[in-house]
Amino acid sequence: MNRTQLIEQIRKKQSYLCVGLDTDLTKIPQHIQSIPDAILEFNIAIINATKEHCIAYKINTAFYEAYGAKGWEIIEQTLAHIPATHFTIADAKRGDIGNTSAQYAKTFFETYQFDAVTVAPYMGEDSIRPFLDYTDKFTIVLGLTSNKGANDFEYLKTEDGKYVYERVISKIATWSTPENLMFVVGATQAKEVANIRTIVPDNFLLIPGIGAQGGSLEDVSKYGMNKDCGLLVNISRNVLYASDKKDFAEAAANVAADYHQQMQKFI
């Protein structure tokens, strides 16, 4: 799915909700935990319950990798159940020297055919370039993250008075166009979203940190939206674990519907 098609889906549905499939076997309802393919069955139920409210799904690879090869099969099977109308993100935060990043890009863009993958910026241009070489896919680079640890290095002040995260975003923005480059910007730092919009007015921002991590949808929408919407707001735990009983899918649908309604107002 390219940028034009993504914007079309957002306009049509009046939603910029991304549902994060960070599925943890120990947190899904007990009545499902013991069935074969529990994680896959849970994911399918969540996808079916939320697809009318969201425009993207983000698969957090860590939660699948922990099961070894079996986990990667579940990623593949889950992807097969995501409708073609929905944008798919591998939240994998990869990044290495060029020949290695090329393998990671191949993994997520060819072997698994995700629309996008998240990438860590520390190692610089040649670690990100192999992802950007896929002009019909999206590279989503960590800018400012939503966790406490963002203070350790992302908020280091550089000699020109800018924070490291500002230098990261402004430099990487010159390496490609908004057609295939997005940034991760944590919603817990809503006051910074307006600042980031001055650096990258056109790129989509993938926003984690609303819900379980405490960010405000209203603030992020107010400071982060651009003429194309330009936001993908991810919710994981609040949707996935809305109920730990048999009504978990209905409860997930209700939470997703609630975000959808709020987004219809903000868009």
What are the residues binding a second copy (CB under 8 A)? 22, 24, 60, 62-63, 65-73, 76, 91, 93-101, 103-104, 106-107, 110-112, 120-128, 142, 145-154, 156-159, 161, 164, 167-168, 171, 208, 213
> Which lies closer to a second copy via its Cβ, residue 50 or residue 60?
60
According to DSSP, the residues that pair with 91 across neighbouring strands are: 60
Which token pair is 184? 């991760």
* C-beta contacts of 79-86 below 8 A and 24+ residues apart: 79/112, 79/113, 79/114, 81/43, 81/44, 81/47, 82/47, 82/57, 83/47, 83/51, 85/9, 85/55, 86/9, 86/51, 86/54, 86/55, 86/56, 86/57
Contact, 143 vs 208, CB < 8 A? no
162: annotated active-site residue: no
Give the nearest distance from C-beta 119 to a second copy in angstroms: 10
**From 58, 93, 106, 148, the catalytic residue:** 93
Give the nearest distance from C-beta 14 to a second copy in angstroms: 29
Give the nearest distance from C-beta 188 to a second copy in angstroms: 11
b/e 137-148 (16+ beta carbons within 10 angstroms → b): bbbbbbbbbbee
> Which lies closer to a second copy via its Cβ, residue 11 or residue 70?
70
> Which lies closer to a second copy via its Cβ, residue 36 or residue 68?
68
Cα 164 to Cα 81: distance, rounded to the nearest angstrom: 39
Give the nearest distance from C-beta 230 to a second copy in angstroms: 23
> Which lies closer to a second copy via its Cβ, residue 65 or residue 250?
65
Catalytic residues, which ones? 93
